[in-house]
């Protein structure tokens, strides 16, 4: 990657890293909120009414906005039963195919998620729970996360095509 794509990848990487930090902060917040709620309940005091709902929204954020960070840094869990049995060339082809399928899947999910968020926005749909908010805000987390994941899978495909090692694949020196 050179020129604009490299600079664009750097900027997208900064966004992904920022969302990874946000995801970490959300996990810390959820932990503190639930711990506080449990302590209040144990003391016989009134609990925080919003803890469950904010935890649900927080898990959505952590899942969809934290996943691109985990993938970019190669810290994801992967099942490599087939990869361990395959030779170097076949392993490279399997990884390429897996990244291609994941890329396409993320694009489809981003498209569908964006459509649903747009419908909710146009309708002015609101979520009425302890926290009242527009539904499109919650729904927009999925297409944003899926687009960033698609970017990462496309990046992995390009790196693999260039013969560059990909973080977390454990296949340094394995060609396509």
DSSP alpha helices (H): ranges in 43-140?
51-72, 81-85, 88-123, 135-139
Give the model's pLDDT for residue 74: 84
In this structure, the chain runs to a length of: 176
Is residue 18 scored above 80 in pLDDT?
yes
More confident residue, 16 or 75: 16
CB 176 within 8 A of CB 81: no
Whether residue 166 lies inside any domain: the answer is no
pLDDT band, very low/low/confident/very high, at 81 (cuts 50, 70, 90): confident
Token pair belonging to 79: 């099942």
Mean pLDDT of the chain: 89
Domain of residue 104 covers 4-161
Give the model's pLDDT for residue 173: 46
170 dihedral zone (left: phi>0; alpha: psi -120 to 50; beta): left
Whether residue 173 lies inside any domain: the answer is no
**Count: domains in the chain:** 1
Of 54-58, 143-147, 163-167, the one with minimum mean pLDDT is 163-167
Its pTM stands at 0.85
CA of residue 104 relative to chain centroid, distance: 15
More confident residue, 85 or 136: 136
pLDDT band, very low/low/confident/very high, at 5 (cuts 50, 70, 90): confident
Q: Give the mean pLDDT of 55-82.
A: 88
CB 17 within 8 A of CB 65: no
Whether residue 10 lies inside any domain: the answer is yes
What percent of the chain has pLDDT above 90? 65
Whether residue 171 lies inside any domain: the answer is no
Token pair belonging to 124: 């002015």
Is residue 3 scored above 60 in pLDDT?
no
Q: pLDDT tens, 85-121?
A: 777 788 888 889 999 999 999 999 999 999 999 999 9
Whether residue 102 lies inside any domain: the answer is yes
Whether residue 167 lies inside any domain: the answer is no
Token pair belonging to 52: 């469950």
Residues 6+ positions from 130 with CB-CB distance below 8 Å:
49, 50, 53
Task: Tally Cβ neighbours within 10 Å of residue 50.
Answer: 14
What percent of the chain has pLDDT above 70? 93
- Separation of alpha carbons 98 and 49, rounded Å: 43
Residues 6+ positions from 89 with CB-CB distance below 8 Å:
174, 175, 176
Whether residue 146 lies inside any domain: the answer is yes
Whether residue 77 lies inside any domain: the answer is yes
């Amino acid at each position: 990657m050179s020129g604009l794509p490299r600079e664009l990848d750097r900027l997208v990487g900064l966004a992904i890293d920022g969302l990874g930090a946000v995801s970490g902060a959300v996990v810390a917040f959820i932990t503190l909120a639930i711990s506080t709620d449990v302590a209040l309940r144990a003391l016989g005091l009134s609990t925080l009414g919003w803890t469950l709902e904010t935890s649900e929204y927080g898990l959505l954020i952590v899942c969809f906005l934290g996943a691109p960070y985990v993938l970019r840094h190669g810290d994801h869990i992967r099942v490599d039963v087939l990869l361990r049995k395959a030779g170097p060339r076949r392993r490279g082809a399997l990884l390429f195919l897996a990244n291609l399928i994941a890329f396409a899947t993320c694009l489809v999910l981003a498209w569908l998620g964006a459509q649903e968020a747009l419908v909710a926005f146009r309708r002015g749909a609101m979520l009425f729970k302890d926290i009242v908010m527009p539904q499109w805000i919650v729904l927009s987390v999925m297409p944003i996360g899926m687009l960033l994941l698609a970017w990462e899978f496309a990046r992995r495909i390009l790196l693999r095509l260039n013969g560059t090692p990909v973080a977390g694949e454990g296949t340094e020196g394995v060609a396509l």
